């Protein structure tokens, strides 16, 4: 009998490990949803709407979808019209040990005919267009008190400052790019608008996050038709659904 028990021991151990790993898989994934800009920082302007209001509406809608889904838990970096420093947004995700960080923004371009979505992971920009986008988004820190200290003297308006992003790689780059691709694929399907693809640039809000992290430019507020779409509740619903679906597909595929 004693010998039998000893023989069974590895099976008990295997069972315990299996049960524990199943619990880990069953645990809902924590998503930090980050509505770009807010408060004194309006972000980009359309003809009628401000970026900060559209990003908040989409973030709230996405949070609602995630809360109804047992696979996820959610934290918002802001749920009202308030100013939140970029570094604090990343801190919120790190402190909560989040599994994903999704920052939502609207794009803008002086050429009013440019439209479509693009999703970024942290990295070196490959074109002047992408540099223009990241410089505009990062310039939010100029409204933060003591930004030079917080971001180690980083000047968001200096092209040279962005060389730093060619020298470093986000620990979760591969995963971030995979999530970004799923978001773009789902945006095409749900919103029937063109995707401008998955890109990389030195977004300060993604700089210090320690989980797969993306910044989604959901569309161009400078494009009159797209501005209307982004501000409409149907448009916001489609975008939120696309990001939700992308996160679901990501966790269903496993986090290898
Ligand atoms: Zn923005």
CATH number at residue 209: 3.40.630.40
Distance 89 CA to ligand 1 centre (A): 13
Q: Of 82, 202, 68, which Cα lies nearest the Cα of 131?
A: 202
Distance 78 CA to ligand 1 centre (A): 14
Distance 23 CA to ligand 1 centre (A): 37
Contact by Cβ (8 Å): 131, 162: yes
| Within a domain: 9 | no
Distance 40 CA to ligand 1 centre (A): 13
Q: Which of 11-15, 69-73, 143-147 is the least confident region?
A: 11-15
Distance 73 CA to ligand 1 centre (A): 24
**Contacting residues for 70 by C-beta, under 8 A, at least 6 apart:** 28
Rounded CA-CA distance 244/72 in Å is 10
Distance 53 CA to ligand 1 centre (A): 11
| Within a domain: 13 | no
Distance 121 CA to ligand 1 centre (A): 15
State the Cα torsion 44-49-50-52 to the nearest 10°.
Answer: -120
What pLDDT was estimated at residue 21?
55
Distance 107 CA to ligand 1 centre (A): 7
| Count of structural domains, the chain | 1
Distance 58 CA to ligand 1 centre (A): 13
| Within a domain: 52 | yes
Residue 22 has pLDDT above 60, yes or no: no
What pLDDT was estimated at residue 254?
79
Distance 105 CA to ligand 1 centre (A): 4
Distance 229 CA to ligand 1 centre (A): 17
| Within a domain: 55 | yes
| Within a domain: 2 | no
Rounded CA-CA distance 101/212 in Å is 6
| Within a domain: 219 | yes
Distance 154 CA to ligand 1 centre (A): 18
Residue 208 has pLDDT above 70, yes or no: yes
Contact by Cβ (8 Å): 135, 157: yes
| Within a domain: 84 | yes
Distance 51 CA to ligand 1 centre (A): 7
b/e sequence 184-204, b meaning 16+ C-beta within 10 Å: bbbbeebbebebbebbbbbbb
* Across 11-31, average pLDDT: 68
Q: Which of 16-25, 133-142, 202-211, 213-222 is the least confident region?
A: 16-25
Distance 247 CA to ligand 1 centre (A): 21
| Within a domain: 19 | no
Residue 200 has pLDDT above 90, yes or no: yes
b/e sequence 56-94, b meaning 16+ C-beta within 10 Å: bbbbbbbbebbeebeebbbbbbbeeeeebbbbebbebbe
Distance 161 CA to ligand 1 centre (A): 19
Angle between helices 51-67 and 224-231 (to 10 degrees): 40
Distance 5 CA to ligand 1 centre (A): 62
Range of the domain at 219: 29-252
In the chain, what percentage of residues exceed pLDDT 90? Answer: 87
pTM of the model: 0.90
């Amino acid at each position: 009998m004693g010998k039998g028990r000893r023989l069974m021991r590895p099976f008990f151990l295997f069972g315990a490990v299996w049960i524990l790993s199943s619990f880990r898989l069953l645990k809902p994934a924590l998503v930090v949803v980050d509505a770009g800009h807010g408060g004194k920082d309006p972000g980009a302007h359309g003809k009628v709407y401000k970026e900060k209001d559209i990003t908040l509406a989409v973030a709230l809608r996405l949070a609602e979808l995630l809360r109804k889904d047992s696979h996820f838990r959610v934290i918002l970096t802001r749920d009202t019209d308030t100013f939140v420093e970029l570094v604090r947004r990343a801190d919120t995700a790190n402190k909560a040990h989040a599994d994903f960080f999704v920052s939502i923004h609207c794009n803008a371009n002086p050429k009013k005919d440019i439209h479509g979505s693009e999703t970024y992971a942290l990295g070196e920009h490959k074109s002047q267009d992408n540099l223009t986008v990241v410089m505009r988004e990062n310039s939010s820190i100029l409204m933060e008190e003591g930004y030079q200290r917080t971001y180690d003297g980083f000047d968001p308006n200096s092209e040279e400052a962005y060389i730093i992003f060619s020298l470093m790689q986000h620990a979760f780059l591969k995963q971030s790019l995979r999530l970004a691709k799923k978001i773009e694929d789902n945006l095409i399907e749900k919103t029937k608008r063109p995707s401008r693809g998955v890109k990389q640039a030195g977004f300060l809000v993604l700089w210090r996050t320690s989980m797969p992290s993306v910044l989604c430019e959901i569309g161009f507020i400078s494009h009159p038709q797209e501005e209307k779409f982004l501000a409409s509740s149907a448009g916001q619903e489609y975008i939120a659904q696309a990001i939700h679906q992308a996160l679901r597909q990501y966790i269903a595929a496993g986090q290898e």
